[in-house]
């Protein structure tokens, strides 16, 4: 398959360029503008995005690690074929890790940490009301990072870095859910109720997974059985 016509891409600044290219490609895949099996040619993408082929290659390698892209020797990169089960499995893993870290954090968060979480959640609600999805994503990452870091060093942190990118501004309803789900989690953490914090965190992530599956299904981005 050849790459379909895409909307013009915005100019990208030379700051973490490969990450920004990956963000653009991820958004195109999540919204069905790039379909399963499509070839991702380095030169055309570099020209469209006005970046180097090196930046595009780095982005594609990163997306390959996330499972959104497949790379084969001498054949280049193609958009991965994903099923609803693939996405649900990914979020099940995310939910488990997030729940474990939240349970551990419940006994480790300081009063300053809890204050920061409350302030971040208030800012998230404001950004949702303002319709600033990108700001909501940034604040959401900071909130979860505060919880995860309080849980202490763990190999689990490595797995979250890529998984957490799947839910974001491309998914309708995600910002609103982010603004609603955090308050009960923060309450459980403040009460040092690790079991409840774990349960609520797992439910929060699983709901995000359901939203992603619905979004990808609507856009025709999932492989049909």
CATH number for the segment(s) 17-79: 1.10.10.10
Q: Is the pTM of this model over 0.85?
A: no
pLDDT tens profile 63-97: 998 888 999 888 899 999 889 998 899 899 999 99
Residues in the chain: 225
Q: What are the per-10-residue average pLDDT scores of the chain (225 residues)? A: 55 68 88 88 95 95 90 91 89 94 97 97 93 86 94 87 67 75 96 98 92 84 71
CATH 1.10.10.10 in the chain: give the residue spans.
Answer: 17-79
CATH 1.20.120.530 in the chain: give the residue spans.
Answer: 84-218
CATH architecture observed for domain 84-218: Up-down Bundle (1.20)
């Amino acid at each position: 398959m050849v790459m379909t016509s895409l909307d013009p891409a915005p100019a990208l600044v030379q700051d973490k360029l490969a990450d920004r290219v990956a963000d653009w490609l991820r958004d195109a895949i999540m919204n069905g503008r790039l379909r399963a099996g499509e070839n991702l040619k380095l030169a055309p993408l570099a020209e469209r995005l006005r970046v180097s082929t090196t930046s595009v290659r780095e982005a594609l390698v990163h997306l390959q690690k996330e499972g959104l892209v497949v790379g084969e020797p001498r054949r280049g990169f193609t958009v991965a074929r994903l099923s609803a089960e693939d996405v649900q499995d990914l979020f099940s893993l995310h939910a488990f890790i997030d729940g474990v870290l939240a349970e551990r954090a419940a006994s480790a968060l300081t009063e300053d940490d809890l204050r920061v979480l409350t302030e971040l959640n208030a800012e998230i609600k404001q950004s949702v009301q303002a319709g600033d999805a990108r700001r909501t994503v940034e604040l959401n990452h900071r909130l979860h990072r505060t919880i995860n870091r309080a849980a202490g060093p763990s190999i689990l942190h490595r797995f979250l870095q890529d998984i957490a990118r799947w839910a974001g501004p491309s998914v309708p309803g995600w910002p609103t859910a982010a603004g609603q789900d955090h308050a009960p989690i923060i309450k459980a953490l403040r009460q040092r109720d690790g079991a409840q914090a774990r349960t609520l965190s797992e439910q929060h992530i699983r709901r995000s997974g359901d939203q992603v599956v619905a979004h990808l299904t609507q856009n025709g981005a999932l492989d049909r059985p």
